[in-house]
Amino acid sequence: MRGELPEVLGVCGAGTMGAGIAQLGVGCGMRTILYDPLPEALERGAERVRKGIEKWRENGRLSPEQADGALALLETTSELERLAPCELVIEAAPEQLELKHDLFRRLSAVCAPHAVLATNTSSIPVTQIASAASNPERVCGMHFFNPAPLMQLLEVIAADQTGERALAVAFATGRQMGKHVILAQDGPGFLVNRCGRPFNGEALRCLQERLATHQEIDRIVRLGGGFRMGPFELMDLVGVDTGYAVARSFAELSFGEPRWRPSPIQARLVAAGRLGRKSGRGFYDYSQERYRPPDPEPLEPSGGEGTALVIEGDGAVANGLRERARRAGFDLRAEGPGELYIYAGAGTAQPLRGGAPAAVLLAGPSLAARGETQAIGFHLVPPLDNAQLVELAALPTAPGFAKQAIESAFRALGFHHQWVDDAPGLVLGRIVSQLVNEAAFALGEGVGSAEDIDAGLELGLNHPRGPVRWSEEIGPAHALAVLDALFEERREERYRAAPLLRRAVALGRGLRELSQPR
C-alpha cells in the first residue's frame, strides 16, 4: 500500500461495469485481479479490458509501451481465494442483496484485515451490504457511472459503519483513476441518483397529466433546457424496466415517499414488453432509422421591425427578454401602451387597456388559477443565452389572434415554441423546480454538499448544470413559486417544498450559502 493507494486491486464481477473498473485499475498502474465464477463471463470481461486499453492506445491516452504495461498488470481468476493479496476489492456483481452478502462474507475471510472492501451498488444501501462483513468499518461504496472508463465521476458512499481509512483509500484510488470524486452519505439513491430522480419522475407526471406528449416533453427539455437527451429518450436508453425497478426500490426504501413514487406509465410499458432500445420499442419505436426528427437550428433574434413591445417585471427572465428584444429591433418599452405585452415578473399581471395581445410568465399559478382567460401563458428557464425554445399555453377562451401574435413575437425574439397545456411552471419549469427542491432536501438532510451535488449531476448524469446552480440562475423564489402553485392546485405531497428552500426565500439567501456547515 503506497500511502492510502492500493498496489493490488481486486474486481468481483466481469460484466460491463466490472471490466470497466478493471480497465481503470490497470490503466493507472495497479496490479488488477478480475474475478468471476463463470469462465465464459471472465473471458468476455478480459476481452473488454483488452479492447478498452487498445482504444486508449489508438486515441493517444496511452503510449504503446504504457498500453503493453497495463495489459501485463491484468490477471483473471474464477477462484475467489486468488483475491487474497488485494488491498482493495471492488464488488460489481448483480444487484441482489443475498449475492452481495455472500460475497462480502467470503471476502472478509479471504482478504487481509486491512484490505478495504467496496461495493459498486447503485441502489442497495451500503449499510445493508456492510453488515455481512466481519469488520464492516472497512466497507464503503464506490459507485462508478457507466461506462466507467469514460465517465468522469466516482461517488464514494459512507455507510453507517464505514471508517475514515476506507474512505481515504476509496478517494485516493478514484483520483488515481482520473475521476472527480464526491462523497455521499448512505440512503436511497445516494447523492447523484437521488438528486437526479425528478428529471424522469416529473416528466412522467407531466405525461400522465397530458400536459404534453413524450416527444414534446423531450423536445422542450433539449431545446429549452440544454439537456443532451430528453427524459423519455433517456429512460428508453437505460431500459424502462430498469428505471421502474429503481423507482420501486426508492419507494420501498423510503417507506413510500411521495416524491419517489413509481409511475403507472412505467408499469404499463413493462407489462407490455416495451422496455426501450433493447426491445426495439419503449416510449419510442426504434424499428425506423430515426426514432425522432432532428432538432431545428437555433434562431437569431430579428424581425421586431419597430413593433411596440412592453416587457414588465424584474429578474433573469425579464432582463433576458429585454436584451433579445433590443437585438431583434423591437420598440422596447418598460410600461404603458404597446402593440404587444409580456409580463415576466412575479405576481399576477395587470391586463393592459386596449386589449393588446399579452403573454404572462407562469412562474407560479396556472392561467386558470390566475383567472387569465385572454392572456397567453409562457415559461422560460434562465439563463436565456442558450435557450432555444419557449413553452406556450392558452385557455380555450384565448382569442386566436393573441395566440398567433405572441407566437410570432417569441419567434422574433429568437425562440422556437411548443404549445402545452396550462399548469404552474409548464413542463421545464416543473422539472427544474423539482430538481432544485430535491437538492434542497438532500442538503438539508446532510446527504452531500452543494458542490458535490452539482458535480454529480453534471459529470454523472450529463446535466447542463447542477440543481444548486439552477437555483442560482432562476432564483429560489421562482422554484418555490412553481412548487407552491403545484401543491395548491394538485394537493399532492410530492410538491411540498423542502424546508431549506423555503428558508432561503424567506431570508433572501441561496441554497449554497445556507448549506454551509455552522
Q: Which residues are catalytic?
A: 122, 143, 155, 193
Strands 340-343 and 331-333: unpaired
Whether residue 365 is preceded by a cis peptide bond, meaning omega within 30 degrees of 0, is no
Return the C-alpha cell found at 186: 448512505
For Cα atoms 288, 291, 294, give the angle at the middle one, nearest 5 degrees: 125
CB 435 within 8 Å of CB 462: no
Whether residue 147 is preceded by a cis peptide bond, meaning omega within 30 degrees of 0, is yes
Amino acid in position 186 = D
User: What CA–CA distance (Å, rounded) separates 251 from 260?
Assistant: 6
Residue with cell 433539449: 222
User: What CA–CA distance (Å, rounded) separates 477 from 504?
Assistant: 8
User: What CA–CA distance (Å, rounded) separates 137 from 120?
Assistant: 17
Sign of CA dihedral 439, 259, 233, 380: negative
For residue 468, the number of C-alpha atoms closer than 13 Å in the C-beta half-sphere is: 27
CB atoms within 10 A of CB 302: 13
User: What CA–CA distance (Å, rounded) separates 54 from 395?
Assistant: 59
Q: How many residues does the chain have?
A: 518
